[in-house]
Copies of this chain bind each other. A is one copy, B any other.
Amino acid sequence: MSDSAYVHGYSIEESQRLSDQANTLSHLLHHDSVFHPAGLVLEAGCGTGAQTVIVAPQNPQCSFVSIDIAEDSLAKAGENIKGNKIKNVRFQSADVFDLPFNNESFDHVFVCFLLEPLRKPVEALVSLKRVLKKGGTITVIEGDHGSAYYHPRSPAAQATIQCLIDVQASMGGDSLIGRRLYPLLVTAGFEGVSASPRIVYADAGRPEMVDGFTRKTFIAMVEGVRQPAISRGLITEEEWNRGIADLYRSADSDGTFCYTFFKAVGKKS
């Protein structure tokens, strides 16, 4: 987004990670991402379309305008929906802080993993509110890296997670934003705000979550900040390696892992 670098790159591995995440989590996050009444939906920060390919098909009564500031991501998103034969989405390059739309253009706004890297999340929400019709809804989904815990516990593993939090904070983001969605939406002036946690839990009895979430989503995301964390002196290479090995222990047959996303819905009155 315009006001900070985005911690994730747009490598092939990253695209794969975002797709893996969306597939594993789609029910948990999106089973209730259904927009009534039918109308025009603005998806802000669509990235490579990982959420678009889930949410657009389950809302055939709606037309989507999915925006992102990154042109290369939009190109991938376009291929993504073509591959999925989705017809109700139009992509557009746009900055969430300077939206090229008239006031009250949209019936619904949908935002997933947009706010976390932003320095000014309330201003982003206020900007989105401008283009939302009166009576329209906003849906916001964000993670919270402070919600991650696991067995066996490990200070070394926790240090690597803290590196992820610190690297994202150094770029102006707040990766613990999930728990703040309710006050953020209220502060931005939305009404009837309802927030709910969506907890991901993985143990050996749920092998698809262990692989799809613990390993390929969460640990992969932590591993994504290896280089900046070590080069900035947040952690030594040895400590890093030990911490990552300990994180993988939580994906063993006697390990468990928890992480919570938050979803909030509000109305413009």
Contacts and interface: CB of A to CB of B under 8 A. Distances in A.
This chain: how many copies in the complex? 2
Ranked nearest first, the 10 interchain pairs of A and B with the lowest CB-CB distance are A182-B203, A183-B254, A151-B179, A197-B201, A197-B199, A199-B199, A179-B256, A151-B180, A146-B149, A182-B256
Interface in A220-268: 254-256, 258, 260
Interface of A: 144, 146-147, 149-151, 153, 176, 179-180, 182-183, 186-187, 193-197, 199, 201, 203-205, 254-256, 258, 260
26 contacts: A144-B149, A146-B149, A146-B153, A147-B149, A149-B176, A149-B179, A151-B179, A151-B180, A151-B183, A153-B176, A180-B256, A182-B203, A182-B205, A183-B203, A183-B254, A183-B255, A186-B204, A187-B254, A193-B205, A195-B205, A195-B256, A196-B201, A197-B199, A197-B201, A199-B199, A258-B260
Contacts of A147: 149, 258
Contacts of A254: 183, 186-187
B258 A197 contact: yes
B256 A199 contact: no
Nearest to A177: B151
Contacts of A151: 179-180, 183
Contacts of A182: 203-205, 256
Given A146-B153, A147-B149, A199-B197, A258 B205 contact: no
A175 to B, nearest CB: 12
A115 to B, nearest CB: 14
